[in-house]
């Protein structure tokens, strides 16, 4: 209980050290690819992290946070410092839960079907808001993973042009777990190629602004492959404790 109210001093110290280190690595990788440090967005994946620690990271300069479960997002919602940061949804989203988060999140990173996009559109119209989305690509073609297969991406984008109050702002991927960094880089490179190919096509209602890929173990590699948004959890907040 006291932890929830005040937070543990050691944990604040760790978060500060981690945040500075991640920002430094992002900065280096951005410069290596000829970009400015501020061209690459750090989104903190905050599942299992109490708002007191999330808000502390926000006080250090963190501007984007992402939740991946609707229930957890709703239970923490009143406690986030949303004046100073932007809340996004990054996990698998069931169609019947869409209405619970519309108007609360600025972007949904995990759209992978017309059915889901349609419901986001309907709920956004109803609430008189616009919702940005990323299309999640199952770049590793894994059976049990969400995301569209790359060959179906353009068809989905085409179908979505008719939908109101929803706008595609880019692509997101969670590549397969790879033992070698060179293997995960192949998936990142494929994603970057897709991102550029779609950008070149200038489709209606699609603006390829964000390529969201890379997590704690591989965000540097993702940036070197062209990511401009990385989603980092444990390297910021420490190993997750599921209760
Ligand atoms: C948890 C999570 C992350 C971050 O994972 P870490 O390995 O802890 O950095 C990134 N993206 C999504 C969708 C997640 O659920």
Per-residue pLDDT tens for 206-215?
A: 999 999 999 9
Q: What span, in angstroms and rounded, lies between the C-alpha atoms of 114 and 74? A: 25
Q: Does residue 105 sit in helix, strand or coil?
A: strand
What mean pLDDT, rounded, does the chain reach?
Answer: 95
Q: So what's the pLDDT on residue 6?
A: 74
Ligand 1, atom nearest to 109 Cα: 13
Amino acid 165: pLDDT: 97
Domains of the chain by start residue, with CATH: 5-236 (3.20.20.10)
Whether residue 127 contacts residue 173, with contact meaning beta carbons closer than 8 Å, is answered with no
pTM: 0.95
Determine the distance separating the centroid of ligand 1 and the alpha carbon of 216, expressed in angstroms. Answer: 7
Q: How many helices (H) and strands (E) does the chain have?
A: 10, 8
- Whether 88 and 114 have beta carbons less than 8 Å apart is answered as no
Q: Quick one: pLDDT at residue 2?
A: 45
pLDDT in tens, 179-205: 888 899 999 999 999 999 999 998 888
What pLDDT is recorded for position 108? Answer: 98
Ligand 1 pocket residue status of 216, Cβ below 6 Å:
yes
Question: Which residue puts its alpha carbon closest to atom 10 of ligand 1?
Answer: 231
55-57-63 Cα angle (round to 5): 90
| Amino acid 5: pLDDT | 54
Q: Are strands 166-173 and 107-111 parallel, antiparallel or unpaired?
A: unpaired
Spans of the chain, pLDDT less than 70? 1-5, 243
Q: Ligand 1 centroid to 162 CA: how many Å? A: 32
Quote the pLDDT of residue 243: 61
Report the Cα 102 to chain-centroid distance in Å.
Answer: 16
Nearest CA to ligand 1 atom 7: 216
Position 202 scores a pLDDT of 84
């Amino acid at each position: 209980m006291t932890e929830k109210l005040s937070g543990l001093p050691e944990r604040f110290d760790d978060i500060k050290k981690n945040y500075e280190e991640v920002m430094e690595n992002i900065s280096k990788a951005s410069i290596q690819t000829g970009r400015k440090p501020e061209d690459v967005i750090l989104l903190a994946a905050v599942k299992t992290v109490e708002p007191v620690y999330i808000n502390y990271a926000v006080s250090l300069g963190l501007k984007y946070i992402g939740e991946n479960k609707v229930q957890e997002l709703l239970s923490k919602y009143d406690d986030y410092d949303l004046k100073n940061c932007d809340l996004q949804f990054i996990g698998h989203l069931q169609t019947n839960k869409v209405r619970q988060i519309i108007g609360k999140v600025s972007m949904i990173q995990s759209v992978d079907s017309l059915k889901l996009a349609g419901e986001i559109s309907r709920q956004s119209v109803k609430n008189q808001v616009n919702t940005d989305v990323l299309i999640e690509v199952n770049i590793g073609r894994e059976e049990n993973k969400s995301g569209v297969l790359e060959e179906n991406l353009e068809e989905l984008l085409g179908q979505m042009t008719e939908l109101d109050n929803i706008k595609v702002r880019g692509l997101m991927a969670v590549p397969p777990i790879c033992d070698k960094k060179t293997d995960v880089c192949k998936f990142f490179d494929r994603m970057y190629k897709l991102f550029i190919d779609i950008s070149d096509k200038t489709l209606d209602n699609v603006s390829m602004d964000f390529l969201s890929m890379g997590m704690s173990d591989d965000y540097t590699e993702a940036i070197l492959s062209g990511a401009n948004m990385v989603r980092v959890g444990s390297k910021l907040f420490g190993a997750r404790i599921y209760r």
